[in-house]
Amino acid sequence: METMEVLLCRLFVVLYLLPVITPSSEQFRVNGLKGPILAPFGGEVELSCQLSPPQSAQHMEIRWFRNRYTQPIYLYKAGKDRYGEMTPMYVERTELLKDAIGEGKVTLKIFNVGVDDDGQYHCFFRDGDFSEEDITEVKVTATSSNIQILVLPSNIDDLRVECNSRGWFPQPQMEWRDSQGKVLPPASKSHSQDTDKLFNMKMTLFLSNTHPGDVTCYLRNPLTGQEEKINIVLPGEICVFVLHMTAIVT
């Protein structure tokens, strides 16, 4: 029968060797870009993620997906790009940049950005039984300089001024201001979305036909802070007007 000292010695050897015989794959974290990342409508956006600590990811599964893990927008597995397993609408519009994959960094490039690309993106790495992911938020943005003002007779005492602009995302802030910069309450304001899901805006204002000075229609993208404006000069009782188109970026 083994003595207590021998049993304790064997237990010590087992505990000492345990870290050596455990799986060798090193655990890691995935660090993505801190969002939100602004993506211009019709342009390109790049989303990078990095393993920490840095290590080669050439043998790993790398999966980018939106809402569902089983519907990847990009999949790299067993050293190959798996185009046949990707969501069809992204196959022709995505590329995985792997120049730094040996250090655990990859970049998903999305071309021809549309409104439907707005939202969350999961960057997922798997090494054997261990996996980690990080999420990056993308905000699609579109700003338009296509603004028009129409002046229409309403009745004997006033004029109806209408401002129209197309091609915004997200829905812009829109307001009338007088020559002193004071906000004028609109008579009405409405919007619609076109086939590309961009916002088309309309805003009206009633003015006396003896209104002096000018009024300006302002639109502002809430994500970028970019403003576009158009103003109309109403010189006293003369119902002739001049349109001035200007644009400012903040």
- What is the rounded CA–CA span in Å between residue 138 and residue 119? 5
Given this structure, which CATH class describes domain 25-141? mainly beta
CA distances from 214 to 5, 82, 156, 190, 235 (A): 99, 60, 20, 23, 8
Read off the pLDDT of residues 55-65 as tens digits, 9 standing for 90 and up. Answer: 999 999 999 99
Read off the pLDDT of residues 76-124 as tens digits, 9 standing for 90 and up. Answer: 999 999 999 999 999 999 999 999 999 999 999 999 999 999 999 999 9
CA distances from 57 to 77, 127, 199 (A): 10, 8, 42
pLDDT at 237 over 80: no
Looking at per-residue pLDDT, the higher value among 128 and 35 belongs to 128
pTM, 2 dp: 0.78
For residue 91, give the nearest of 107, 66, 111, 105 by alpha carbon: 111
Which sequence spans correspond to the domains of the chain?
Answer: 25-141, 147-248
Read off the pLDDT of residues 18-29 as tens digits, 9 standing for 90 and up. Answer: 444 334 456 899
pLDDT at 236 over 60: no
CB–CB of 124/21 below 8 Å?
no
Torsion of CA 231, 236, 241, 242, to 10 degrees: -60
Please classify residue 242 by burial: count the beta carbons closer than 10 Å to its beta carbon, then call 0-12 exposed, 13-18 middle and 19+ buried: exposed
Q: Do domains 25-141 and 147-248 have the same CATH topology?
A: yes
Q: What is the mean pLDDT of residues 190-202?
A: 97
- Residue 13: pLDDT band with limits 50, 70, 90: very low
Read off the pLDDT of residues 123-153 as tens digits, 9 standing for 90 and up. Answer: 999 999 999 999 999 999 999 999 999 887 7
pLDDT of residue 229: 94
The CATH classification of domain 147-248, taken from the options 2.60.40.1510, 3.40.50.300, 2.60.40.10, 3.10.150.10: 2.60.40.10
- What is the rounded CA–CA span in Å between residue 85 and residue 79? 15
CB–CB of 189/173 below 8 Å?
no
